[in-house]
Structure 1
Amino acid sequence: MSNVNNLTSKILKDAEERKSSILAKAEEEKNKIINKKRDEANRLKTSMIEKAKLESATRKERILSSAELKVRNEKLLSKGKVIDEVFNMSVENLCQMNENDFRNFVKSSILSLNIEGDENIILNANGKKAINEAFIKEINNELKDKGNLKLSQSEGKFRGGFILEKNGIEINYTFEALVQSLREELEFEVANILFN
């Protein structure tokens, strides 16, 4: 019986040792799994933080870029309005020309053109106050044998200057058209004067 007790005791002792060994291996395996998952979680966390940083930096850059573009566009729009105002003021200043200067402008402009001399001169209401038939006759005399300009009965819907018309073809010497034609070549220079 003592052999049986010894055997039982030995089996129990072996079982106890195996139990401890199995529990130790299980604990070790558990720790390995936990450490592996913790490392994966840390890598994922680091990756997510880096991705969030990159996304926030990109988003910040886009927001700043968009804001800078908006500011630049608003500045350009404001500058454009100021330049428009300068050219509109130029037209307005030309419209304020006294009658004598206006007659000299009309006369010198017409005499500098290569025209047939039988065109109609279209004027606005203010122009009709300054230019009369006697003045047209004076221009016709200077045009010599081709001078047969006529003062049009129709009134132009422009701010100042005049239009020469013949058979539906117009030579536009309105102040608006003259300033607009000069605007392309002067706009850069005007902008430099205004904004530098």
Structure 2
Amino acid sequence: MDAIEKIVEQILEKGTCEAEAVKKSEVNRIESNFYEQIAALDIQKKQQITKNAELSKKIFRQKQNRQQLEVKQATLNSKQELLGQLFKETTEKMKQWDTETFQQFASGMLSKLDLSGEVVFNAGEYSKDKISQTWLDQFTTDKLTLQLSEKIIPKESGFVLAKDGIEYNFLFSTLVQEVQTTEIYKIAEMLFG
């Protein structure tokens, strides 16, 4: 019996050793797999942190750009509003001209134009009291006759000269608008540099 017990003992010992070897091998494999997964998760974590940081920077830049654009737009709107107010006030100040100033302006415009024949002078509603046929008669020559029209241009200051269907517009709102259209960039540069 000793021999059978020895063989059983040897088989058990061999089985135990093999089981230990398999156990050790399996533990090593599991640990190796575990550490690989931890390393992979660590790499994934670092990549996600980098990705999140880049995304955060991108979102921050977008917000910053949007805010800068909003500030620029608000500044531009304020400047445009100020310029609009400036041109509106200019028109209002011209509308307030006294008779002498208005007549100097009209005289200057009449002397610059090379007109002949009969020309009709249409005054704006706010300028009608600053001009008379008597005053216009001083510009009458053998080539030119100015006739003050009874027709008044409503809610306007300045005047329109009409000859043979052609009109020369000297209404203050139109003149200021023309300056606004052609000179706005120069004026803005002077004001806001």
With the length of structure 2 as denominator, give the TM-score of the two structures: 0.91
Q: What's the counterpart of residue 112 of structure 1?
A: 112
Alpha-carbon RMSD:
1.8
Q: How far apart, in 1, do the equivalents of 2:181 and 2:34 lie?
A: 75
Q: How does 1:147-158 map to 2 (within 5 A)?
A: 147-158=144-155
Higher helix share: 1
Q: What's the counterpart of residue 159 of structure 1?
A: 156
Q: How far apart, in 2, do the equivalents of 1:131 and 1:104 lie?
A: 11
Does the 8 Å CA contact 2:126/2:155 hold for their aligned counterparts?
A: no
Runs of 5+ unmatched residues, structure 1 = none
Q: What is the one-letter code of the residue matched to 2:118?
A: D
Q: What is the one-letter code of the residue matched to 2:105?
A: F
Q: Does 1:37 align with 2:34?
A: no
Per-residue deviation, 1:20:
0.5
Q: Once structures 1 and 2 are overlaid, which stretch shifts more, 183-192 or 13-22? A: 183-192
Per-residue deviation, 1:116:
3.0
Q: What's the counterpart of residue 174 of structure 2?
A: 177
Q: How far apart, in 1, do the equivalents of 2:166 and 2:39 lie?
A: 86
Does the 8 Å CA contact 1:123/1:162 hold for their aligned counterparts?
A: yes
Matched-pair identity in %: 21
With the length of structure 1 as denominator, give the TM-score of the two structures: 0.90
Q: What's the counterpart of residue 48 of structure 2?
A: 48
For 1:119-157, what per-residue CA distance to the aligned partner results, in whole angstroms no more than 9, with x for missing partners?
2211112321111121222222xxx22212222222213
> Which one of the candidate residues 181, 184, 188 is aligned to 1:191?
188
Runs of 5+ unmatched residues, structure 2 = none
Q: How far apart, in 2, do the equivalents of 1:28 and 1:157 lie?
A: 101
State the aligned residue count.
Answer: 193
Q: How far apart, in 1, do the equivalents of 2:37 and 2:161 lie?
A: 90
Q: How far apart, in 2, do the equivalents of 1:35 and 1:116 lie?
A: 104
Q: How far apart, in 1, do the equivalents of 2:114 and 2:8 lie?
A: 134
Per-residue deviation, 1:189:
4.0
**Structure 1 stretches of at least 4 aligned residues deviating more than 4 Å after TM superposition:** none
Q: How far apart, in 1, do the equivalents of 2:165 and 2:42 lie?
A: 83
Q: How far apart, in 2, do the equivalents of 1:76 and 1:159 lie?
A: 30
